[in-house]
Amino acid sequence: MVDTQVADDIRQVGLAPADAGHETLTKLISGIADDAQRLIHQQYQMLRAEVREDLRRTKSVVVYLGIGSVGVAVGFLFLLVSAPLFLNWALELPPWAGWAIIGAIGILVGGIALYVGNRMFARFNPLPDKTLNALEENLSWIANHRN
C-alpha cells in the first residue's frame, strides 16, 4: 500500500521518473542551442559594429588626406614650374637643362614614394581579424559538438 501511495503522488505531480530525466536533457540541449544562436548573433552584431567603426574612421582620414593632397599638389605645381626657371637663371644653363634636372628629380622621388607606398599597402589588412577569428572558432566548435 505504501508503494501505491508513492506512485500516486508521482502521478499527481505529473512527472514519471523516466520522463523527468528526458525532459531535463531536452531543456539542456535546447538551452545550449539557444545560447549558441545568441552568441553567433552577438558576434555578427560585433562584426558589423567593428566594420562600421572602421569605415567611419577611414572616411575621416580620406577627407583630410584629400584636402591635404590638393593643397600640396597646388603648391608643388607652382614650385615645380619655378624650379627649372630658377636653375636656368642661377647656374646659367640652357633652357632645357633646368627642366631635365627637375624632371629627373621628380622621377626619382616618385619612384621612391611608389615603392614605400606599395610596401605599406602590402602590410595593411582592412579586415576585422579579432571578430572574424572568434566567430570562426565558435562556428567550428558548434559544428564539432553538434555531431
* Whole-number Å distance between alpha carbons of 1 and 8: 11
Is this structure's pTM higher than 0.75? Answer: no
- As a residue count, the chain comes to 147
Boundaries of every domain in the chain = 16-146
Q: What is the pLDDT of residues 44-58, one digit of tens each?
A: 999 999 999 989 988
Q: What is the pLDDT of residues 108-118, one digit of tens each?
A: 999 999 999 99
Q: Apex CA 105: angle with CA 122 and CA 66, to 5°?
A: 50
Q: What is the pLDDT of residues 65-124, one digit of tens each?
A: 999 999 999 998 998 899 999 999 999 999 899 999 999 999 999 999 999 999 988 887
Indicate the DSSP class of residue 127.
Answer: S
